[in-house]
Structure 1
Amino acid sequence: MHFALTEEQRMIVDTTRAFVEAELYPHEALVERTGHLPMELIREVQAKAMAAGLYAANMPEEVGGAGLDTLSWLLYERELGRANYALHWTCVARPSNILLAGTEAQRQKYLYPCLRGETWDCLAMTEPGAGSDLRGMQATARQDGGDWVLNGTKHFISHADIAGFTIAFMATGEEETPRGKKKKITAFFVDKGTPGFTVRDGYRNVSHRGYSNAILEFDDCRIPQENILGELHKGFDVANEWLGATRLQVAATCLGRAARALGHALSYAADRRQFGQQIGKFQGISFKLADMAMELKAAELLTWEAGWKFDQGSVTDADMAMAKLKATEVLAMVADEAIQIHGGMGLMDELPLERIWRDARVERIWEGTSEIQRHIISRELLRPLGA
């Protein structure tokens, strides 16, 4: 693995960072104050992102994306991650890679409009009674002639309010396994406006203001057979094949926010004077800075290595779990220490630190909790030993 960035990767980093600082930072205060991202602002920034070649950059060239390799994509995600989450995720959208699993007809209807910025997608897996245990989902789909009838509730569904459709994962049967019966899961495209499909306001979240979540209700929602994404009963397969790198995406955006927090801490430690000298010269502060930088570097190396291995075809679930776990926990530590270095000023909203601190909390929960990541890592360690 080469540690030096290529000229193209440096250009991606520089271009994305410049865009974030010029086009996203100025709107953070508005979104944080109101908890709302106006559609007119979304469209304004979206147009600029498209002009800069940053929109849907996660997608391959053959469908109109930037065709970035995984490591380059993660570098791009890190720079976007410096900004308010709602701003970078909505205005510089990266449609879910799972859309690539669709047929050509499904791509025409769902993928390409997302690439053109005409709509957004959302994934519906989590339920009130089934979070990490997706096999425990209660929402069902039953076949009725040539159609499928969906019933059940999903919640914590990100940006479903603006999405034109959802990809809903539903239980479509059961199968016997050595550990007993398990649900068979199938993924379905469900268009907003379909009778029996209702999108309701979700919960007020302390993290990521302006980035909404919703409750999705399916009440005898009838959809045609051609709305199945992938194969019947193979919802987990299509998710595992196309969504594996989302943990690395979370890791990368956390690295961006941690780097921003560390930057503020360094500047303050160099400028702030107490007892006749810069506070960065006090061991209590300088050791904090050293630990923050060291932990951030460790998280970066884990993430970049996993991204590189992803393209080599050698990445493991443990590689991605380690990156996600380390980056999210480092972000929490760096954000907290940055506030401690600033003292009371760190908690004021004149600085982004209190936001970064609040936003950090959700990262250890979504896309697999820290406990789930540790389970994945330990399972991979023990399996070769028959445990």
Structure 2
Amino acid sequence: MMMDIYPWWTDEQKAFAEDVHAFVRELMPRDAESRWKREFPWDIFEKIGERGYTGAGVPKEYGGLGLGATGACIAAEAFSRMPGPGRVFIGNMLGGLRQIIEFGSEEQKKRFLPRIARGEMGAIVITEPVAGTDAAAIEMTARREGDVYLLNGKKRYIVSAGVAQRYMVYARTSDNPEDRKRYRHLTAFVVEKGSPGFSVEKINEIIGFENIQNGALDFKDVPVPMDQVLGEEGQGWSIMTAGLNFERTLICAQTAAWMGELLRNAVPYAERRVQFGRPTISFVNNQFKIADMVSRVKISRLLTYYTAYLWDLGWDITLESNVAKVYNCEGAVAASLDAIQVMGGDGLTPFYPVSAIYGVSKVENIAGGTMEACRMVIQRAAMKQMAEDLKMCRRVIHEELGVPVPAATEPEKARSIDEEGLLQILAEDYRANPGLHMSREDIKAYFDVEDKDLDRVLVDLEAKGHVRLVRDKKGIALAKASYEGLGKAFPLDYYKWFPSWIDEGRVF
């Protein structure tokens, strides 16, 4: 078992890790057989269900093991040594888990969570022919008629299409532009296999899906009773995003497992492959690749289990789960290429799993949120969560040296504002940050005034050509003194500065 047992894990989680990894080692021969035969390994999932491993993240009061996100990641990492079944375990057997726990009624929790714990397969159903990364653009409709909603539309790229018993489906319930603007236009539904009008349209051929199914679904007036609506009508976006953060954390455990599996193959291979009279692991270029692979698996697991730990503490993991997914998924592709290079031609064959891992790792750069979508979430979340850390450090001119240095204290605020005083502040900022504008917050550090008074003075200075303003949808955002404004604030000599080694007499 290639894994660190982290000190913050409970004794129960540590014992679970030992147990589930031993169980997976027993299943790996059958997994390999099913991949060569290209058959869905029903028997593997039956054994998983019998052992109750899919209940790792299900609370004990609903028939689960109560091991939290950490336990779910431990299981996901173990089962992902088998790329196909690992994908089903993450995306489908746990499909809808967090959504039901966080948004389901007590009746829904009692109804669905024990089924997940017993190994029932589920599916996450979001992507459509026209809606992928832009999940808010979902076109599938859900129309209320009496005590049911009728679902109409198509979904695609659904893992375990046709074999899952339970489908977590998102559909549009409002065309109101205001609802769309506020992300109140989607609703979440649990659709059961065998529902009238619900069918599999086709099964896709996708790299890495040798022994599991991925397909397109068709919904034609599919009736969904009210007790299978999750949360409230219009709450679908919130439910979806809450589930995605959890799914992305599990995907991180999956990719960490793949990186570990790459090491398990590349290192022993290089120790036994002889070229130029010596094992290829003795070549420094291979040693560097292996060092990078070790670094990636160590970092990826730390990111994964730190994120899971924060989830178990009840923290918002939006930033951490997306950071981990970007690092882990891109790291898995890079590690795959390194492993293939270390193993040479054998790394390209299906007789070793490294080329297969390369294929599935590339899929995870798209599934569960593309790298681009995750980066968008990272940037937006960071701007909110790290706002204090990302504030501009105020810089002032050192009295003796005449160069900009960080300010140790906040300035004393003036209780009124006028053109002369504001222009001098903008000119002083030019000395410290000649290439930057000042933000409203920067300026208000010097003046205890209302926004309307600040705007009035800035607009008056702009009209005179003394400042340049940058506006956004909220109004004036940035300001900078113009050439004329700098001259109005201070004479030219005020701005001059030369290093001590310069002969000022020779500078014009």
Structure 2 length-normalised TM: 0.69
Q: Does residue 60 of the first structure (1) align with residue 62 of the second (2)?
A: no
In the TM superposition, what are the counterparts of 1:1-387 in structure 2 within 5 Å? 3-4=6-7, 6-23=10-27, 25-39=28-42, 41-42=43-44, 46-47=46-47, 49-50=48-49, 52-86=51-85, 89=88, 93-94=93-94, 96-97=96-97, 98-100=99-101, 101-117=103-119, 119-176=120-177, 184-383=185-384, 384=387
Distance 2:39 2:363 in 1: 18
Letter in 1 for 2:226: Q
Q: What's the offset of the Cα at 1:270? A: 1.9
In 2, Cα distance between the equivalents of 1:88 and 1:139?
25
Q: Is the 8 A contact 2:200 2:216 kept in 1?
A: yes
* Equivalent-residue separation in structure 2 for 1:115 and 1:379 (angstroms): 35
Q: Indicate the SS of the match to 1:71.
A: helix
- Which secondary structure state, in structure 1, belongs to the residue aligned with residue 139 of structure 2? coil
Count of aligned positions: 380
Which digits, 9 at most, give the CA deviation of each residue in 1:163-198, with x for residues without a partner?
Answer: 223222110014545995856101122233322222
Q: Counterpart amino acid of 2:108?
A: Q
Contact 1:56 1:65 in 2 (8 A): yes
* Residue 267 of structure 1, CA deviation: 1.0
- Give the direction of change, closer, same or farther, for the CA distance of 1:130–1:230 in structure 2 (3 Å limit): same
CA distance in 1, matches of 2:340, 2:175: 50
Instruction: Name the stretch that deviates more: 279-288 or 75-84.
Output: 75-84
Offset at residue 78 of structure 1 (A): 1.4
Do 2:340 and 2:354's aligned partners in 1 also have CA atoms closer than 8 Å?
Answer: yes
Secondary structure of residue in 1 paired with 2:55: coil
Deviation at 1:243, TM superposition (A): 4.4
Distance 1:38 1:180, change over 3 A: closer
Q: Between Structure 1 and Structure 2, whose CA radius of gyration is higher?
A: 2
C-alpha spacing 1:115/1:151, structure 2 compared with 1 (3 Å):
same
Give ranges in structure 1 of 5+ residues lacking alignment.
none
Letter in 1 for 2:313: Q
Higher RCO (CA 8 Å, separation ≥ 6 residues): 1
Compared CA separation, residues 131 and 238, structure 1 to 2 (3 A)? same
Seen in structure 2, the aligned counterparts of structure 1 residues 8 and 124 have a Cα distance that, compared at 3 Å, is: same
* Distance apart, 1:348 and its partner CA: 1.7
> What code does the residue aligned with 1:80 have?
F
Change (3 A) 1:90 1:161: farther
Q: Distance in 1 between matches of 2:240 and 2:207?
A: 28
Q: Name the aligned partner's letter for residue 348 of structure 2.
A: L
The AA in structure 1 aligned to 2:46 is Q
**d(CA) in 2 for partners of 1:314 and 1:284?**
42
Structure 2 CA distance for aligned equivalents of residues 348 and 135 of structure 1: 40
The answer to whether the 8 A contact 2:77-2:257 is kept is yes
Cα deviation code 1:78-99 (max 9, x no counterpart): 1221113236736994453123
Q: Between the two proteins, what is the percent identity of the paired residues?
A: 28
Gap runs ≥5 in structure 2: 392-438, 440-471, 473-508
Residue type of the alignment partner of 1:209? E
SS at match of 2:326: helix
Change (3 A) 1:180 1:56: closer
Name the aligned partner's letter for residue 358 of structure 1. G
